[in-house]
Structure 1
Amino acid sequence: MPRGIPNAKRDDTGIKYTAFHVPLAINPKHLGSTYLKSENQTIWSRNAQRKSKAPPEEPAAPEQRRGSQVIVVHPGSRFTRIGRASDVTPLSVPTVIARKTKPPVTTPTFVEGISRPRKGRRNPRPAEQKQGRDEYEVVVSSDDPFEEKIAAITMSLRDRMRFYKLRVSRNAGSIASTYNDSRKPEIIAEHNDPYRIDWIDGPNANEDVLVGEQALRIADPQASNYMVRWPIYGSNFNTRDYPSIQLILSDIEVLLRATLQDQLGIEPSDYQKYSVVLIIPDFWNRSYVRELVHMLLVSMGFKQLCTQQESLAATYGAGISNACVVDIGAKNTSVACVDEGLVIADTRIALGVGGDDITEFLYVLLDRICFPYRDINLARSYDWNVMEDLKTRMCTLLEVDVALNLYDFIVRKPAQPAEKYSIRVYDEIILAPMSIFEPRVIEFDRKRVGTNDMLHSDVTEEILDQHPSDQVTQAMTISTQHLMPAPVPEENSPDQQDGSARMQDTSGPDGEPRPVATEGSADMSMDVIDVEEESKPPIVPPQKQTQQSPSKSARGQSGEPQAQPSPEDFGIDVCFEASKLPLDVAIFNSARAAGGDEKIRKYLQAVLVIGGTARISGMAHALESRYVKSMMFYKEEFTKPSESDVKRLQAIATPLVQNMEKVQIIPPPKDVDPRVLVWKGGAVLGKMDGCSELWVTQNDWDVMGMRGLKERCFFI
């Protein structure tokens, strides 16, 4: 009988209740071991020692440029930028692949991300059929919710035109509709069309796989039994069109292999000689990065790899160290602040609006004024390219460009001669890009229908680590504070009420509150714009925040510290709700998450806008004008503005922080396309000597996986 257990019954059966073996206690003399406690015992040190003992490699040819053995890859929704780090510009390959499948082939459908008018309503300019007395007034004569949204955006435009004293053509919509409805296409003979397209159809469509431009030149994918798909959507994989993650990775690998072999002349047997710089999104998904790194190092067999975030790569390409980087891509927009070569994690915001939404919205607006090309289908690649060409040549954010202008465009269809159309437009050219500042017409819920997470986020190699990329950032929390319920007011004692009254007695001569700004204050009493409302809130002067006792604000009645409630505690999808913000509000909230007034001034005076949409004329003016600071809110003797002044300020101004004249938009370097600025930053990193500390080899990945990537990167 064991000691210490009185009246213990003897087990007559002799069978154990469990097969679990209790390990022996650890030997105390091993507790003082120095295993893996010094730097020379890490895998990185062992790799360096092994490399020093290895036979010397063959010296590189003297004619090779620096970075010629480094490949920079920047995947995107519409285009993948790829090239050697020594190249001046990268190759821009459409991220699309077409595979031969067994019939029948599913007909592609276009997922609408923009609101549409009700069926059967194709009247020209219904929002202007009834004119008001004021030329800037917009009267909605329809109960269609879509027309109300368009009228709200139009009213915002008219307010800005009123501020700049620009005239409005009251019957421009009717003139444009009448002209477009009567236009017939002009036929262009094949020998007169220098840009005719060599379509792939019939006997030419015998390849099993077509990638990039070739996939877009298939005349009729359904008739040729081709399945055309885009493997990347936004900052993640396209899980809507693919049944499994393996098919997505297979298509991406085929796309990269074909591009490297056909356009860069790099054979698969030479992959082991090349290093790869992989550009990943700012708000990156851990599984997305892991699968891409595994594909490049293991499946394709490259020598080594390092990853870099888009915002940091953009600052490298622009040659600056601090900036608020705004990357407007095809499917979404990313905002993040970079401080001395490091992306501040809490400043990241991912918006669910991109250049494709502007293209689709432009089509909806042109359809309201009798778009002359009637047989358009955005699911077809050549029709989508028509709208992309119109967006590039038409769209502007300068109010002075709003006028009745005439444009022409050419439609090239398979097995048909090219057709030239002419179209007359008015304010559609500015209303379409204004959707990034007025996102009320975007159907965010509809855009994420059909997407699923195939990369089980709860399966990870590091159980004890909390991944910052999977958490909600401070900028997103600030952006969704207006969705939280109002806090319950606390009851103060008479002494505290008397003290609060004395602190709040800062009224001016007219009895109005006088704004008091504290230098370095992190929390500013800014009104957060609720994009679900049809109108923006009025501009009000910032009020001085009431100081609370630390015992009341930070501790409960029992004296224990209480955690501040977050929107997630109330069942709010913070990431999704924050993606609905207007661009100007998202930039300001991102800067607010970086710190106090000094940080806000620092980043708002260095805003770097990149991406294809950044090429729209007047983008810098549109952002700067929406951040113009009204000096009357910061006068020592505050005077209440008149109603007319408030209207003028609402059209163009948002009060910011004290002692900041304006927001400054940094243009990209001269002769550098903002679409390839991120890639050029990755090329700069690949040629730097310090990049040798960031490489992850195949052996490192095989032994440690994501942990090895984490120890080599600053942001994982």
Structure 2
Amino acid sequence: MPRGVPNVKKDETGMRFTTFNVPLSANPKHVNSTYLKSETQTLWSRNASKRLRDGNNEDPTHVQQEPQRRGSHVLVVHPGSRFLRIGKASDVVPLSIPCVVARKCRTQAPKVTRIRNVACPRSQMTEDEVVRQKEQESTEEDKADNKDPFDSKLAGMTGSLKERMRFFKLRTTPNAHAISTTFNKQFQPEIISEQNDPFQIEWIDHTSTEDMLIGDTALRIGDPESAGYVVRYPIYNRNFNLRDYPSVRAVLNDLEALIRRGLEEKCELKEQDYKNYSVILVIPDLYDRAYVYEFLNLLSSMGFKRFCAQQESLAATYGAGISNACVVDIGATTTSIACVDEGMVISDTRMRLGVGGDDITEFFYVLLKRIYLPYREMDLVRSYDWDVMEDLKAKICTLTESDVATNLYGFTVRRPNQPTVKYGFRVYDEAILAPMCLFEPRVIEFDAKRPPARNTPHSMVTDEIVEQTSELITNAMIISTRHLMPPSTEDSSTKLKPAAAQASGTSTPKNGEAEPSTNTNDASRSTSQVSAEAQAESIEEGTKANSRPSQPAEATPPAAPTQAPALVYAGGYSIDVPFEASKLPLDVAIFNSVRAAGEDRIRKYLQMVLLIGGSAHIPGIGAALESRLQAIGTPVVSGMEKVQVIPPPKDVNPQILVWKGAAVLGKMESVSELWVTPADWEILGMRGLKERCFFL
């Protein structure tokens, strides 16, 4: 190599795979960007500015329409297990459509069966149900006694009723059941001719060719099996009814049909008019994110202008005109409890009980069968028989002890292809024992009402906002089930005061039973505790029947004495906290919900209990709830004042109070901050709703 020629530097890196030059990182000292540092740069502001510009560019010669009532372009949708309430926010009352859809089957329609949600005597069971009940009996003593478990459950409720009547110095009739049974056995029904019955029903039979029947029309199918229809309710337990439907898509199809029918009948809206209307969707307090997502996605696909979601308890306070309350919503299948503080639902106070108005109806039917109701052919599977029991419940049931007497009642039965028949019967304490299942839930079959296993969340529901475990377990539920948890789990997973278990009046279970709290001394036992003894007995029986995990009993002994791995439920607890908390009596659950709001707020919320829902119509339920809450709170809370149940506003049906509150929200100017447009929903999905709502 000649001198003076430098050596070529060897390329150690080899051939480059790209000619793209990576830019150097910017010096942070010279960055002056204000991107996303103000609200004017968000997607919401850009869309709002665009809508404003589009409005200014309209033709100025366009004739202005007459001013309309505020809320006339806002629709309120409140879905429920029995009714779908829908209407404009400017309407006085909504349209209540039975939330039921009947679809024509291309093949043979399945046989209609009823899931028994309430305990009943063995005389009313089938042979398979009796065998299954005997197999599930826990101890050998129960199997050897061969006693009907229903008798012991009913005896506990009857004893509680007698104690309350004795406290109020009310007399009881010793042979009242014998009098009622003898009268009902000997009663002869009266046949009413067709010309004398002005309320004849036009039934739908197998000659119908309609592919789908909605609402009241679906309930007029005399025999769905012979007519070739399958009748289903899209909503159950404040969620999609996946117990009867094969998929969520099938549920949404029926819900869409119900909404379209309601808008057509009540609001006279066609599909092309949806783009001019906004929708407020009322969702449960203890909501499922997948439920909210699918429902809002349905509204978006239907072409509405914009939509938002609002919780039931908050809407109820709007309707009642108050800002703070403990809202108790007794629905058809469940009871929801939540505390509202200055326009916000306290998430830790939310609870859901597995008892509702349908359970009262079914239990009332069981009690009437025991005293030989003259209408022997009654079957709650048939829609017209269910309506008869609903009417009897509304007419007869009461929670006022002074109304317990051997009274005579009558009812009329209209069946397809048969003449109208009028019956009469006598009842005694059956009228008060049926609604007492709210406070004595020992007769409820909670395992039958247990929801199916939860599916994985939708792919569009991002993981960053899905916290299903923590959402479904609240502090009120932990307080309610603390006495069922092992000491290790109780100490490590919950940081509550030791007195939390006493809120439900129970302590650590012994031999499957929960004993009354020992903190209450003898001096605190006063006459104001009219139902303290009955309440403790109720919790004992309820815990005895429900504290065991709902697993099928296996008679096969284990091959080796190895210890089975402990079951771990949602949240890392050793028990299913939401399910076990749903078994509480109503008064105990309300007290635990109020306790979860804070020790300093117990007296405040116990004086502002707002009772809504269909079962709020039961006479005497307010006084019954007040006396029971007073008996629980007096020995636990120092300086406890009188418990007060707030009635709904005058001339307002408690069934539609939630809808009325959502309609009030739809008329307010602040609702403009909650709207989500379909374009925003398409881009952001649930994240967009999270930015607009306070409870997500």
User: Normalized against structure 2, the TM-score is what?
Assistant: 0.82
Q: Distance in 2 between matches of 1:528 and 1:670?
A: 33
Q: Relative to structure 1, is the Cα distance of residues 145 and 53 closer, same or farther in structure 2, using a 3 angstrom cutoff?
A: same
1:526 to 502, 522, 528: 502
Q: Relative to structure 1, is the Cα distance of residues 702 and 567 closer, same or farther in structure 2, using a 3 angstrom cutoff?
A: closer
| Post-superposition offset of 1:484 | 1.4
Q: Distance in 1 between matches of 2:338 and 2:453?
A: 26
Whether the 8 Å CA contact 2:76–2:87 is kept in 1: the answer is yes
Asked if 1:71 is matched to 2:75, the reply is yes
Q: Distance in 2 between matches of 1:605 and 1:341?
A: 18
Q: Secondary structure at the match of 2:102?
A: strand
| Offset from partner CA, 1:235-271 (integer Å, 9 cap, x none) | 1000011111111000100111122113321000000
Match of 2:88 in 1: 84
Whether the 8 Å CA contact 1:620–1:665 is kept in 2: the answer is yes
Q: Give the letter for the 1:537 counterpart.
A: P
| 1:118-197 paired onto structure 2 within 5 Å | 118-119=122-123, 143-197=147-201
Match of 2:605 in 1: 603
| Post-superposition offset of 1:581 | 0.7
Match of 2:370 in 1: 368
Q: Distance in 2 between matches of 1:448 and 1:353?
A: 12
Match of 1:383 in 2: 385
| Post-superposition offset of 1:74 | 0.2
Asked if 1:282 is matched to 2:285, the reply is yes
Match of 1:393 in 2: 395
Match of 1:100 in 2: 104
Whether the 8 Å CA contact 2:102–2:214 is kept in 1: the answer is yes
Match of 2:483 in 1: 482
2:361 to 359, 362, 369: 359
Whether the 8 Å CA contact 2:238–2:284 is kept in 1: the answer is yes
Match of 1:537 in 2: 516
Match of 1:200 in 2: 204
Match of 1:500 in 2: none
Q: Secondary structure at the match of 1:314?
A: helix
Whether the 8 Å CA contact 1:326–1:609 is kept in 2: the answer is yes
Q: Give the letter for the 1:352 counterpart.
A: G
Match of 1:668 in 2: 648
Q: Give the letter for the 2:680 counterpart.
A: D
| Post-superposition offset of 1:319 | 0.1
Whether the 8 Å CA contact 2:290–2:458 is kept in 1: the answer is no
Match of 2:48 in 1: 48
Whether the 8 Å CA contact 1:626–1:654 is kept in 2: the answer is no
Q: Secondary structure at the match of 2:487?
A: coil
Q: Distance in 2 between matches of 1:423 and 1:39?
A: 69
Whether the 8 Å CA contact 1:668–1:674 is kept in 2: the answer is yes
| 1:453-532 paired onto structure 2 within 5 Å | 453-454=454-455, 456-457=456-457, 459=459, 461-465=461-465, 467=467, 470-486=471-487, 526=502, 528-529=504-505
Whether the 8 Å CA contact 1:334–1:348 is kept in 2: the answer is yes
Q: Secondary structure at the match of 1:334?
A: strand
Q: Secondary structure at the match of 1:363?
A: helix
- What stretches of structure 2 of length at least 5 have no aligned partner? 1-11, 127-144, 492-496, 523-567
| Offset from partner CA, 1:378-412 (integer Å, 9 cap, x none) | 11100100110010001100110111011111111
| Post-superposition offset of 1:206 | 1.8
- What stretches of structure 1 of length at least 5 have no aligned partner? 1-9, 123-140, 491-520, 544-564, 630-651
Match of 1:692 in 2: 672
| Post-superposition offset of 1:417 | 1.2
Whether the 8 Å CA contact 1:484–1:567 is kept in 2: the answer is no
Q: Distance in 2 between matches of 1:443 and 1:180?
A: 28
Whether the 8 Å CA contact 1:395–1:616 is kept in 2: the answer is yes
Q: Relative to structure 1, is the Cα distance of residues 567 and 302 closer, same or farther in structure 2, using a 3 angstrom cutoff?
A: closer
| Post-superposition offset of 1:33 | 4.4
Higher helix share: 2
**Percent sequence identity over matched residues?**
56
Q: Relative to structure 1, is the Cα distance of residues 121 and 82 closer, same or farther in structure 2, using a 3 angstrom cutoff?
A: closer
Whether the 8 Å CA contact 2:505–2:517 is kept in 1: the answer is no
| Post-superposition offset of 1:71 | 0.7
Q: Distance in 1 between matches of 2:458 and 2:249?
A: 19
Match of 1:515 in 2: none
Whether the 8 Å CA contact 1:305–1:695 is kept in 2: the answer is yes
Q: Give the letter for the 2:364 counterpart.
A: L
Q: Secondary structure at the match of 1:180?
A: helix
| Post-superposition offset of 1:353 | 0.6
| Post-superposition offset of 1:363 | 0.5
Q: Give the letter for the 1:541 counterpart.
A: T
Match of 1:35 in 2: 35
| 1:205-354 paired onto structure 2 within 5 Å | 205-297=208-300, 299-354=301-356
Whether the 8 Å CA contact 1:152–1:534 is kept in 2: the answer is no
Q: Give the letter for the 1:293 counterpart.
A: L
Whether the 8 Å CA contact 2:503–2:588 is kept in 1: the answer is no
Q: Distance in 2 between matches of 1:239 and 1:36?
A: 42
Q: Distance in 2 between matches of 1:382 and 1:25?
A: 78
| Post-superposition offset of 1:567 | 9.5
| Post-superposition offset of 1:272 | 0.2
Q: Give the letter for the 1:230 counterpart.
A: Y
Q: Give the letter for the 2:635 counterpart.
A: P
Q: Relative to structure 1, is the Cα distance of residues 42 and 163 closer, same or farther in structure 2, using a 3 angstrom cutoff?
A: same
Q: Distance in 2 between matches of 1:535 and 1:194?
A: 55
Q: Distance in 2 between matches of 1:488 and 1:411?
A: 55
Whether the 8 Å CA contact 1:477–1:567 is kept in 2: the answer is no
Q: Distance in 2 between matches of 1:679 and 1:120?
A: 39
Q: Secondary structure at the match of 1:408?
A: strand
Q: Relative to structure 1, is the Cα distance of residues 611 and 539 closer, same or farther in structure 2, using a 3 angstrom cutoff?
A: farther
Q: Distance in 2 between matches of 1:35 and 1:373?
A: 74
Whether the 8 Å CA contact 1:275–1:303 is kept in 2: the answer is yes
Asked if 1:584 is matched to 2:564, the reply is no
Q: Distance in 1 between matches of 2:239 and 2:124?
A: 37
Q: Distance in 2 between matches of 1:453 and 1:622?
A: 36
| Post-superposition offset of 1:24 | 8.9
User: Normalized against structure 1, the TM-score is what?
Assistant: 0.80
Q: Give the letter for the 2:630 counterpart.
A: V
Whether the 8 Å CA contact 1:189–1:418 is kept in 2: the answer is yes
| 1:7-22 paired onto structure 2 within 5 Å | none
| Post-superposition offset of 1:542 | 7.0
Q: Secondary structure at the match of 1:526?
A: helix
| Offset from partner CA, 1:545-601 (integer Å, 9 cap, x none) | xxxxxxxxxxxxxxxxxxxx99954421111111111100110111111111x3111
| Post-superposition offset of 1:60 | 6.5
Whether the 8 Å CA contact 1:73–1:81 is kept in 2: the answer is yes
Whether the 8 Å CA contact 1:116–1:364 is kept in 2: the answer is yes
Q: Give the letter for the 2:654 counterpart.
A: P
| Post-superposition offset of 1:118 | 1.6
Q: Give the letter for the 2:471 counterpart.
A: D
Match of 1:506 in 2: none
| Offset from partner CA, 1:667-702 (integer Å, 9 cap, x none) | 000000000000000000000011111111111101
Whether the 8 Å CA contact 2:337–2:349 is kept in 1: the answer is yes
Give RMSD over aligned pairs.
3.1
Q: Give the letter for the 2:259 counterpart.
A: L
| Post-superposition offset of 1:489 | 13
| Post-superposition offset of 1:142 | 8.2
Q: Relative to structure 1, is the Cα distance of residues 522 and 91 closer, same or farther in structure 2, using a 3 angstrom cutoff?
A: farther
| Post-superposition offset of 1:465 | 3.2
Match of 2:637 in 1: 657
Q: Distance in 1 between matches of 2:404 and 2:250?
A: 46
Q: Secondary structure at the match of 1:325?
A: strand
Worse-matched range after superposition: 702-711 or 254-263: 254-263
Match of 1:593 in 2: 596
| Post-superposition offset of 1:31 | 7.3
| Post-superposition offset of 1:194 | 1.8
Aligned length: 607
Whether the 8 Å CA contact 2:290–2:461 is kept in 1: the answer is no
Whether the 8 Å CA contact 1:239–1:453 is kept in 2: the answer is no
| Post-superposition offset of 1:480 | 0.7
Whether the 8 Å CA contact 1:397–1:433 is kept in 2: the answer is yes
